[in-house]
Structure 1
């Protein structure tokens, strides 16, 4: 019986080739998007699956009241307190941030990032480590474990275990090149093991692990701050706990709540502070957290992408339902004959469902081909350099694809199967013209829904693209043209500036700790000394006295900072926004005033006021916020070089030669300032690309459905067209007659979709800092695009029908 269903279904698919292609292609392009998201999710679900105790390992999170998301970091003493005082915890470990610098061995230097970890690290995590007793590898001071990739770079295939390397730490961030400072020698370390970094995926990425037993010596030397007993600050360590066998997650929750109650009782500043747990396998993908050790796509992003894919998939299924139901008239006699010869309704339902599933399986084959095409495009997105998707499929994934395809076939074919199988034999065998549906109400509703969705997607894409262009064309208030930012990598900024100024194509050079208007921002809370007003949050930029001139900024009051003398860090500049935030009407009024930091730890004297400029990333805040500029040369991480030569490549080559004379070890690293500012918003371009692709698919599917309906309607009315032409009707009037119902569909879709698109898009736009204007023009562009595509789709069929030969159309079937 099943073989018969498949055979008949295949014959029907071949009989109605155009309708079958529309259904298969529409389902295929929707399924390819869904399968891509399934691959992404399966890829991220592979993270941290190799740890033996994965079901009992939890990361502890800190949550402060008012924070947008919990933090992945915790107070430093937490790990020891959990293991010592609470039976629910079998083992715990912590990773201290801040390891990032240069490893030196026999004249070879390699940049490395990692953590301080205690000896229990490998009792918690099941990394594949070679080199000896894993329990003792990190038990003694000045020992380290490195990754296989780092071992290859540093030793080029030679045995690394037992080798002694020197470490100069520069405070490099685990998330990139950011936060480079002066190189501080941390001493010599013996390599005791090598972690294999292939064959598994972990949310923790590192080049090197230093023994936590090395910290006391660094504390004593003043090279790193001692926060081992600090229960207040929660920004420097990651804490992981393994629950004991038989213990529950609820017991761990109770233990964390008990710690909060005992440690923070009566501390007003810590009121509302909470500690929570997150299972290791729920980290990737998981909830959005701050201070995470790496980049990952949060679970909410998957929900959003899945919603978009579901909309596209439902639209494709509606096409199948719509066209199959419309085609019911041509299959009435088949249904009648089957019922007269003894077929029951369930037999007809199974027949039609087998056809829909066969169509879905054909769509799966086409979707796999489309997936091969779109995968490289997705992997080539800029954002993937941080998310690190591989999108490898395995047998389980392919089985999931097949199951998904069958479910889609069932969903798409269920309504047509129930609808077609309900006709009675006598009615089904009557003249087909008596069964012609009237206003096609249900199918018009489905078509309108598809075009409403399409209009929404087009409007959203146009708006996000306009926002992207707005960011690229934004006036920051300083001149970034022809400026190259060069990482100092621990070198003395004075020497670097002196050498660079000897290059003929260089006009000026300045130094700073961060690059303004990028995604790194430091802050401090200040108020006028002696006042009792609330503290105001200021951005902080550490720079020298050449910064203003180098970026084309000007003073509006006072004088530039003085960088000579022992107390120069006390004399600061503020911007115009700071003048108003502190309650002064005019910029000169604040010159000479004393500012006090929160807690009274520092005081600053304002010597000048600079013109406002955008010093934070555009996506972080709307407008210019208060900021303070001060001189603190030990924190400088970059020099900014303004070039005047037309030969930028030649000037850069000279700068590189000067750099090699200063630092023959570290490579010359530079970025054009304009490129850095543009790079901040490449993620927006990726969003435009992804949503643009989704919008394209939505429109294609909607137009395919419209095309199928147009072909069906023109085919059913071909005799009417022939009679009208014989009676004198011209081509244009016939084309208009055939198109009228479709114009109504597009008109209703625009009336619903236009206001809906504006309302929904305006909701998220209002929460975005430095937003672009959103008015009727953007919606009109989307409406015009949809109208053109809809009219072209319908017009091809109605014009062809209106120009047909009436003699041929009036022939008997």
Structure 2
């Protein structure tokens, strides 16, 4: 019996090859898209879960309260972790990590290792990063100990064993011994490094005494709690700990700290405090919904196409029932055919997944999976999804087909009934509601990305070349040398550029009441050319000037407008001449600059201070002419190699660098757009199925109308109008739903677009055009058919 059903199924699929191709294509594309999204979501949810002790690892974060604000940071002071371990037996181990960048030399081989971490010796006791060579228990104990990743080690040592060998670090050529090689850190880890230095290198060589600094915040701290310890109970003990250890100093500095614990597994997606790498739980939710929608659309499409063909098999069912076939047997046959079709779709899906997975990895910006055969469960999941769709989606068509009355269908009086029509139309409404919602979402995402790319940032970033000298003594000589290159318009030195990070500084600024108000201000060290170089406007007072070199290099500060508001001034002019104290410097405010976006548009502009500090300027920025750019870059590189020969030459353009902050959102937008296109395409196949079914049912009516003089445009309009109503209903359902979810998504941006009415109008028109184009093919075909053929049986 099963063999017979299988033969009949294959025979029907082959006989109706076009139908089978459309149905299999829709299912395959839908399952493939759903599979890719599911892998992406699973990957995002897997961050840091590969650590065996992940349930007991917590990051310590800090709320720092000053008289001006509360700063929510992802770091702690350097003294917290060692003292927490001393005071709380609940803590098994602690690890502090801090980022760095080092010039690394081995003979003639030299690279700037930007992806470097300092880490405490318990690093491998807390985290499960695999050590390939070396002893994980001792590798990070001694000062000047260094561990490389596989990838980094190969650059310096090739295929030789690096353990025990020495490399030279930074411009001072400090020797460091290689004590370990680790496997390249997994993609789904928020902690990533190509080089790890022992924390004692920092605390004993580069910054002695930092372990005792309670007010110096810069360490990312992780605690491994002992089994059974309640993190919330432990956290409740921290206020007493801070009061005991640092209460007096906190009151003196008017800066109080509140410590909290974040589970390691929650940091990547749920923490609002940032980190080395962060994700978006909102995007995960949105893509999960999109995956379900695409799969739902594919199933609806399958049902509509199958029931559209039901009239063609009505007589077959009638004859089978006359010769004794039971309803259950017929239903089983049709469900079997559905499963066979879905199994064929499974093999097509496997091929599509193999072909398009590399492209999907590139689009997502991550190696979600090296290949679907790298994990047997992937193929098993695909097969399971396909069979399940075949069973679930095949039930309704099977019940419809098996319930035909043989007497009626053999007399040619078959009708599917109003209930069937209502269900099919409801399914099309559901499909197009999803599609229109995705169109609206795509337009809003694109507009937000366009807004962020084109918004006036308050500074110029075009054709701005940035090079990091990493403190090389020849940086000023290099800056002066490249000024003479014809393609270089201007240059400047600074500690930071917009979008490139900055330091927070404990500051005391005279407020509108005449008191020194404590605040933590972002701080840029700049030279005299910086403001003019980036076209940052001064709205009160004056810019830094060489005419006041003696005072501007020691006693002058410029604030932005946001900082002026923080200290209570109603206008920028009122802040001019006010006192400041910052990092051992005292002086007066000489100017106020217009607010500019020195961070991502996802964050509000924060208070910023600038000072001239010529000894702390590592970045050389050059405004270059777009003409003869290649020759200009070559000339700059030549000067670098001449004046800074010990460091590898590298550069970036500020506009590209600044835009990197939006990579996550840009990738989200691209993924969203591509999956929206797929959903719309599959929906059109479903609409084509319903149009096919409807025109077949009305064949005789169309023939009669043509005999009575109806025109082809009139018949096309008659057949299309019902479907346009369905699309209109879909639009009314989709619009408020799309507005709600996209409004929620936009809340993650401090600077965002307003959702305009025209977005919905464009989406509605697009849906109408797509639907009308799809329907017209079938409607025109029916309208131009010879009426004699359709009326012959009457």
TM-score interval, normalised by the smaller of the two chains: 0.7 to 0.9
Cα deviation, residue 162, structure 1: 2.1
Q: C-alpha deviations, 1:400-429, integer Å up to 9, x for none?
A: 111121222223223333444455666666
Cα deviation, residue 631, structure 1: 1.3
**Among residues 163, 166, 171, which one is paired with 2:165 in the alignment?**
163
Q: C-alpha deviations, 1:682-727, integer Å up to 9, x for none?
A: 4443233212112211211121111111112212222222222122
Cα deviation, residue 533, structure 1: 9.4
Query: Partners in 2 of 1:69 and 1:404 — Cα distance?
Result: 48
Q: Are the aligned partners of 2:499 and 2:657 in contact in 1 as well (CA < 8 Å)? A: no
Q: Are the aligned partners of 2:601 and 2:749 in contact in 1 as well (CA < 8 Å)? A: no
- For structure 2, which runs of at least 5 residues remain unmatched after alignment? none
Q: Are the aligned partners of 2:61 and 2:259 in contact in 1 as well (CA < 8 Å)? A: yes
**Among residues 566, 571, 580, which one is paired with 2:556 in the alignment?**
571
Query: Partners in 2 of 1:69 and 1:596 — Cα distance?
Result: 20
Q: Which residue of 2 aligns with 1:176?
A: none
Q: Which residue of 2 aligns with 1:142?
A: 144
TM-score by length of 2: 0.86
Q: Which residue of 1 aligns with 2:574?
A: 589
Q: Are the aligned partners of 1:523 and 1:539 in contact in 2 as well (CA < 8 Å)? A: yes
Query: Partners in 2 of 1:275 and 1:242 — Cα distance?
Result: 11
Q: Which residue of 1 aligns with 2:350?
A: 368
Structure 1 position 765 matched with structure 2 position 743: no
Q: Are the aligned partners of 2:558 and 2:609 in contact in 1 as well (CA < 8 Å)? A: yes
Q: Which residue of 1 aligns with 2:719?
A: 738
Query: Partners in 2 of 1:254 and 1:579 — Cα distance?
Result: 39
Match of 2:459, SS state, is: coil
Query: Partners in 1 of 2:197 and 2:303 — Cα distance?
Result: 62
Structure 1 position 34 matched with structure 2 position 19: no
Q: Are the aligned partners of 2:526 and 2:612 in contact in 1 as well (CA < 8 Å)? A: yes
- Larger mean Cα displacement after TM superposition, 527-536 or 679-688: 527-536
Q: Which residue of 1 aligns with 2:457?
A: 476
Cα deviation, residue 352, structure 1: 2.6
Q: Which residue of 2 aligns with 1:775?
A: 756
Structure 1 position 557 matched with structure 2 position 540: yes
Structure 1 position 808 matched with structure 2 position 781: no
- Kindly tell me: are residues 589 and 290 of structure 1, through their superposed partners in 2, closer, same or farther at Cα, counting changes over 3 Å? closer
Matches within 5 A, 1:398-547: 398-422=379-403, 431-437=412-418, 440-492=421-473, 493-517=475-499, 522=504, 527-529=509-511, 531=514, 538-547=521-530
Cα deviation, residue 292, structure 1: 3.2
Query: Partners in 1 of 2:749 and 2:121 — Cα distance?
Result: 45
Cα deviation, residue 735, structure 1: 1.5
Q: Which residue of 2 aligns with 1:8?
A: 8
- Kindly tell me: are residues 32 and 682 of structure 1, through their superposed partners in 2, closer, same or farther at Cα, counting changes over 3 Å? same
Cα deviation, residue 660, structure 1: 0.8
Q: C-alpha deviations, 1:471-513, integer Å up to 9, x for none?
A: 3322233333433222222224422222222323323211122
Q: C-alpha deviations, 1:260-295, integer Å up to 9, x for none?
A: 3652468697676322443xxx479754464534x3
Cα deviation, residue 761, structure 1: 3.1
Q: Are the aligned partners of 1:519 and 1:680 in contact in 2 as well (CA < 8 Å)? A: no
Q: C-alpha deviations, 1:169-204, integer Å up to 9, x for none?
A: xxxxxxxxxxxxxx6x48322223333438997554
Query: Partners in 2 of 1:602 and 1:389 — Cα distance?
Result: 50
Query: Partners in 2 of 1:377 and 1:560 — Cα distance?
Result: 50
- Kindly tell me: are residues 361 and 72 of structure 1, through their superposed partners in 2, closer, same or farther at Cα, counting changes over 3 Å? farther
Q: C-alpha deviations, 1:736-774, integer Å up to 9, x for none?
A: 222221122122223333454445434443653333353
Q: C-alpha deviations, 1:594-633, integer Å up to 9, x for none?
A: 2456xx9765411123344433322322xx5543221123
Q: Which residue of 2 aligns with 1:672?
A: 653
Cα deviation, residue 666, structure 1: 1.9
Matches within 5 A, 1:89-108: 92-108=93-109
Q: Which residue of 1 aligns with 2:371?
A: 392
Q: Which residue of 2 aligns with 1:174?
A: none
Cα deviation, residue 242, structure 1: 6.8
Q: Are the aligned partners of 2:100 and 2:118 in contact in 1 as well (CA < 8 Å)? A: yes
CA RMSD, 1 decimal: 3.8
Q: Are the aligned partners of 2:142 and 2:198 in contact in 1 as well (CA < 8 Å)? A: yes
Q: Which residue of 2 aligns with 1:116?
A: 118
Q: C-alpha deviations, 1:205-239, integer Å up to 9, x for none?
A: 32333334445532xxxx32644356777641442
- Kindly tell me: are residues 701 and 255 of structure 1, through their superposed partners in 2, closer, same or farther at Cα, counting changes over 3 Å? same
Query: Partners in 2 of 1:116 and 1:552 — Cα distance?
Result: 37
Structure 1 position 217 matched with structure 2 position 239: no
Match of 1:455, SS state, is: helix
Match of 1:110, SS state, is: strand
Q: Which residue of 1 aligns with 2:283?
A: 301
Query: Partners in 1 of 2:415 and 2:183 — Cα distance?
Result: 74
Q: Which residue of 1 aligns with 2:241?
A: 263
Query: Partners in 2 of 1:148 and 1:64 — Cα distance?
Result: 37
Query: Partners in 2 of 1:68 and 1:527 — Cα distance?
Result: 17
Match of 1:354, SS state, is: helix
- Kindly tell me: are residues 361 and 541 of structure 1, through their superposed partners in 2, closer, same or farther at Cα, counting changes over 3 Å? same
- For structure 1, which runs of at least 5 residues remain unmatched after alignment? 169-182
Match of 2:767, SS state, is: helix
Structure 1 position 274 matched with structure 2 position 260: yes
Cα deviation, residue 313, structure 1: 0.9
- Kindly tell me: are residues 85 and 537 of structure 1, through their superposed partners in 2, closer, same or farther at Cα, counting changes over 3 Å? closer
- Kindly tell me: are residues 324 and 78 of structure 1, through their superposed partners in 2, closer, same or farther at Cα, counting changes over 3 Å? farther
Q: Are the aligned partners of 2:302 and 2:393 in contact in 1 as well (CA < 8 Å)? A: yes
Query: Partners in 2 of 1:767 and 1:325 — Cα distance?
Result: 44
Matches within 5 A, 1:181-260: 185=172, 187-197=174-184, 203-218=190-205, 223-224=206-207, 226-228=209-211, 235-241=218-224, 243=226, 247-248=227-228, 251-253=229-231, 256-257=234-235, 259-260=237-238
Query: Partners in 2 of 1:39 and 1:430 — Cα distance?
Result: 52
Q: Are the aligned partners of 2:63 and 2:70 in contact in 1 as well (CA < 8 Å)? A: no
Structure 1 position 24 matched with structure 2 position 28: no
Q: Are the aligned partners of 1:60 and 1:241 in contact in 2 as well (CA < 8 Å)? A: no
Cα deviation, residue 308, structure 1: 0.7
Q: Are the aligned partners of 2:429 and 2:727 in contact in 1 as well (CA < 8 Å)? A: yes
Cα deviation, residue 79, structure 1: 6.2
Q: Which residue of 2 aligns with 1:62?
A: 61
Query: Partners in 2 of 1:548 and 1:261 — Cα distance?
Result: 43
Q: Are the aligned partners of 1:510 and 1:544 in contact in 2 as well (CA < 8 Å)? A: yes
Q: Are the aligned partners of 2:429 and 2:730 in contact in 1 as well (CA < 8 Å)? A: yes
Q: Which residue of 1 aligns with 2:766?
A: 785
- Kindly tell me: are residues 441 and 254 of structure 1, through their superposed partners in 2, closer, same or farther at Cα, counting changes over 3 Å? closer
Q: Are the aligned partners of 1:39 and 1:391 in contact in 2 as well (CA < 8 Å)? A: no
Q: Are the aligned partners of 1:518 and 1:617 in contact in 2 as well (CA < 8 Å)? A: no
